Structure 1
Amino acid sequence: MTETTTSTGALFEQEWREWRAGWEQFLTQPFGWLAVTSTTWVEPEPGHYPGLPGLWWQEGDELHIDPQGLAMSYGGESFTTVRALNLSDAPDDVRITARDLQIGVTYRDQYLLVVYDPRALARTGFRGVPTYAPDPRWVLEGRFEAHGAAKTVSLDSVGTDSHTYASPGIVRFAHAGQEHTLVLTSSANGMATVFSDTTSGDTTYGAGRSLTIPKPDRNGTVVLDFNRALNLPCAFNDVPVCPVAPPQNRLPFAVEAGEKTPPDSPA
């Protein structure tokens, strides 16, 4: 091994460790994934739900909230009386604040409420996430192929029904001389994919892992760095709702890179 190769490998590992430190800081933020304590689908009739102050119900596309005297806030505005919000076109997981809690709201024809509590045991008792050692051999080149027209993909979910996601296209890549294809979904950071492989349910989370796909270059080339494959939120506790890798994203080989199953995973 030459000195240049050694230096390149050391830089790769250093950059990966810096990225890992930032990711685990994101995980342990007060109102992040590890702070989730409950999820609730809102019903048409006003009702109290576990872990949620006030009354909540749905009428058409509107979410109705009766704080019952408690000060809540949404979009920087505080309210203590009944408020109707139409969040059907809002981004997923918009937040309402109630005391020291945050309630994430996502619309899927029915409103889903996710309670974030900084005192959640998954957060306060966080012991890190095991990973495979970083390996440059798991940085693969792929080719992005955009769909000719707007397209969606339906993904099953852990703990609930399937949901539809916008799909910008697919990516083709080669491993061990064989071509493979991953269906992509749109994400806040551009593109992502949920995949599984032969480590799923063994050393990695059974439902699959996620991988962010960077923007392709002018030739459609993308980089798939499987060292940055991440667990889904439901790998940390059995409360969040997570997509499952679709059949076309179930890779027939072991991706021994990225995050492994968390030590206290419910799965």
Structure 2
Amino acid sequence: MTATLDQFVDDWRQWHAERNDGLRQPLGWLSLTALHWLDETPTAFDEAPGRWHVEGESVIHDLDGSVSTYGPVEGAPGVEAEFDRGFVEIIRRTGRFGIRIHDRTAPALASFTGVPAYEPDPSWVLTGRFEAFDEQQVVTTGAVVAGLEHHHPAAGVVRFEYGDAEHELVAFGDAGGPLRVLFTDATSGVTTYPTARILQVGTPDIDGTVTLDFTRAANLPAAFTDAATCPVAPVENRLSFAVEAGERNPRVRESL
């Protein structure tokens, strides 16, 4: 039993270290310093070279008379335009166009010491049962930015037991493929980020069995930067109990 627990803790610490290493990448989420929405008026921003505006279904960038045109896809990762300290990410969200600044000199990168997290506890590794919808559904959620929406392909629900009760989570992804859930719980807004954490569930077994390893519940980028446009958890995935496992809110580290 001790050897099994030691292996569990070692595996979790490796996962946690890889999460921290990913966030330390010089142009990753911690480098995101600003979000600016665009309109038809050419506008200059302190963080980004040139002037930017929207023209029809495109974003126009004028840099000292050199004009570039970009066509970001709704809800997809942005199109990148390099500049001296990093890159400008041109995005489209709920019909709006914007630019985000990734700066390798961002203060958040320099001050990052790791994501706060609960200690790994194998009692938070639960077994669930996946039940596919007859047809894939689209679940619409809000976002951390007011007025934006996210549209998630949902494959079905995961049912699991905790505290002598059965609970249910809507699972995003494709039936037969890896699943993920966005959820909140009684720790949200207290010790964990308020709008959502994400849990990778993996591919269900043939009989629908899945593992819910809440010790690997992770923050979305919005937990680290105000320039993210992350989704909030769907109303169906708001658990009533406290999931004291996984990543905590990095914005309230001093109170943990």
TM-score over 0.5 (shorter chain): yes
The Cα of 1:186 is off from its aligned counterpart by 4.0
- CA separation in 2, counterparts of 1:85 and 1:263? 34
Q: Retained in 2: the 8 A contact 1:61–1:88?
A: no
- CA separation in 2, counterparts of 1:100 and 1:190? 36
- CA separation in 1, counterparts of 2:158 and 2:142? 21
The Cα of 1:190 is off from its aligned counterpart by 4.4
Cross-structure match for 1:102: 87
Q: Does 1:247 align with 2:226?
A: no
Q: 1:69-80 maps to which residues of 2 (within 5 A)?
A: none
Q: Does 1:84 align with 2:69?
A: yes
3-state secondary structure, aligned to 1:211: strand
- CA separation in 1, counterparts of 2:154 and 2:234? 16
TM-score normalised by length of structure 1? 0.85
Cross-structure match for 1:121: 107
Q: Retained in 2: the 8 A contact 1:205–1:231?
A: yes
- CA separation in 1, counterparts of 2:29 and 2:36? 16
3-state secondary structure, aligned to 1:142: strand
Q: Deviations over 1:182-232 (max 9, x none)?
A: 123349x94322211111111111222111221222222221111011122
The Cα of 1:117 is off from its aligned counterpart by 0.6
- CA separation in 1, counterparts of 2:75 and 2:239? 33
3-state secondary structure, aligned to 2:147: strand
Structure-2 change in CA distance of 1:181 and 1:64 (3 Å): same
3-state secondary structure, aligned to 2:77: coil
Q: Which runs of 4+ in 1 moved over 4 A?
A: none
Q: 1:19-98 maps to which residues of 2 (within 5 A)?
A: 19-68=15-64, 81-88=66-73, 91-98=76-83
Corresponding letter in the other structure for 1:163: E
In structure 1, runs of 5+ residues without a counterpart are 70-80
The Cα of 1:59 is off from its aligned counterpart by 2.2
- CA separation in 2, counterparts of 1:158 and 1:233? 11
The Cα of 1:263 is off from its aligned counterpart by 4.8
Structure-2 change in CA distance of 1:31 and 1:154 (3 Å): same
Q: Retained in 2: the 8 A contact 1:42–1:57?
A: yes
- CA separation in 1, counterparts of 2:56 and 2:134? 33
3-state secondary structure, aligned to 1:242: coil
TM-score normalised by length of structure 2? 0.88
Q: Does 1:194 align with 2:182?
A: yes
- CA separation in 1, counterparts of 2:252 and 2:88? 24
Structure-2 change in CA distance of 1:146 and 1:49 (3 Å): farther
Q: Does 1:226 align with 2:222?
A: no
Cross-structure match for 2:204: 216
Identical-pair percentage: 39
Corresponding letter in the other structure for 1:6: T
Structure-2 change in CA distance of 1:215 and 1:106 (3 Å): farther
Cross-structure match for 2:244: 256
Q: Retained in 2: the 8 A contact 1:93–1:106?
A: yes
